[in-house]
Amino acid sequence: MHVFSYDVAADADATFPQSVMSGGPTDSGAIVWTRIGETAYREGQPVEVQVANDETLDDPVFEGVVDASAMSATHDYTVKVDLDGELDADRFYYYRFIYDGTASRTGRLQTMPLTAGEDWYQVEFLEDSWDGFQAERAELMNAVDDASLRNFVTLTGDLHCSMAGYQHAGYGEASWNRDTVGIEFMTPSIRSVCAADVVDFPGDWDREALAAIAKAENEHLEYVNWYEHGYFVIEFTETDCEFTVYGVDADENSADAKKRTLAQYRVPDGELSLEALSEPKTVSRS
């Protein structure tokens, strides 16, 4: 089979069980990710990736092949492609992976605006996190809305940053229902890269300013910190749910390693409300 050709009848979900995701946007690209299912993996089989301006991907602006040696059981058959330098600023793009004649679902990403002459970044987090499942997400969240579920809380972590925010029934173009249906908490990574490790933000932008911009562009967010490595602890009781984020030094490997509290929030039983229990903190990183 020729490179970038595929069987339209092939089961994308069997080959790509986690579908596709994107992150780490810059003004000239982003990182796209997928995982090959263990039963679909074929030793020596490369992975292809296509990016285009339109959802059909008939006229790609980027095509690349990931060598088979870059994927293994050691990394759970995951594939990551850095498109930095390949795309234009402040635009939506569609992308997909092809493996052994099967195409993934189509994802969508957005590059950052050019920083020259600008004093802001548009940062979108939860709206595009389910790149390959936008219709499914809308169906799920609208079902949650219709059912008026009590204490609907989700715990996530794929973006490698800590967040606390409100879940809406819809985001983006798949659904315009903006009802608040729940609470979302996200854990940072202990050691895996975070945005501050891979994105070169302007040096005169401090972290509080960037967090304020992120929250202004994403009104459902109450807290966001993409600079600190760490983890969260969450406790559910009959009266509430308490969420605490701890920051750690990603380079320290010691049983005596210190942790620091970055943020604490409480969600009362039966309420879609985030109550701050401590003032969110940021800590300088060299």
Is position 150 within any domain?
yes
Structural domain includes residue 99: yes
Which helix or strand (DSSP H or E) is residue 136 part of? Answer: helix 134-147
Contact (CB, 8 A) for 230 and 281:
no
Do 137 and 75 fall within a single domain? no
If you search the block for the tokens 């990931």, which residue do you land on? 66
Does 139 share its domain with 266? Answer: yes
User: 264 and 135: one domain?
Assistant: yes
Q: Same domain, yes or no, for 138 and 56?
A: no
Q: Are residues 132 and 104 in the same domain?
A: no
Phi-psi region for residue 8, left (φ > 0), alpha (ψ -120 to 50) or beta?
alpha
The answer to whether 45 and 71 are in contact (CB under 8 A) is no
**Torsion of Cα atoms, 190 then 192 then 193 then 194, to 10°:** -40
1 within domain boundaries:
no
pLDDT score at 171: 66
pLDDT of residue 161: 85
Low-confidence ranges of the chain (pLDDT < 50): 116-128, 283-286
Q: Which two tokens stand for residue 160?
A: 């490698």
How many Cβ atoms sit within 10 Å of the Cβ of residue 223?
22
- Identify the CATH number of the domain in which residue 17 sits: 2.60.40.380
The phi, psi pair for 131, rounded to 5°, reads -50, -45
Residue 228 pLDDT: 87
Q: Looking at the domain assignment, is residue 138 inside a domain?
A: yes
Containing structural domain, residue 99 = 12-110
Asked if residue 157 and residue 224 are part of one domain, the reply reads: yes
What domain count does the chain have? 2
Residues 183 and 269 in one domain: yes
Same domain assignment for residues 102 and 61: yes
| pLDDT at residue 17, rounded to an integer | 92
pLDDT given for residue 131 in this prediction:
55
Give the pLDDT confidence score for residue 166 in this predicted structure.
Answer: 93
- The answer as to whether 153 is a domain residue is yes
pTM of the model: 0.55
Asked if residue 230 and residue 199 are part of one domain, the reply reads: yes
What is the reported pLDDT for 45? 95
Q: How far apart are CA 27 and CA 41, in angstroms?
A: 33
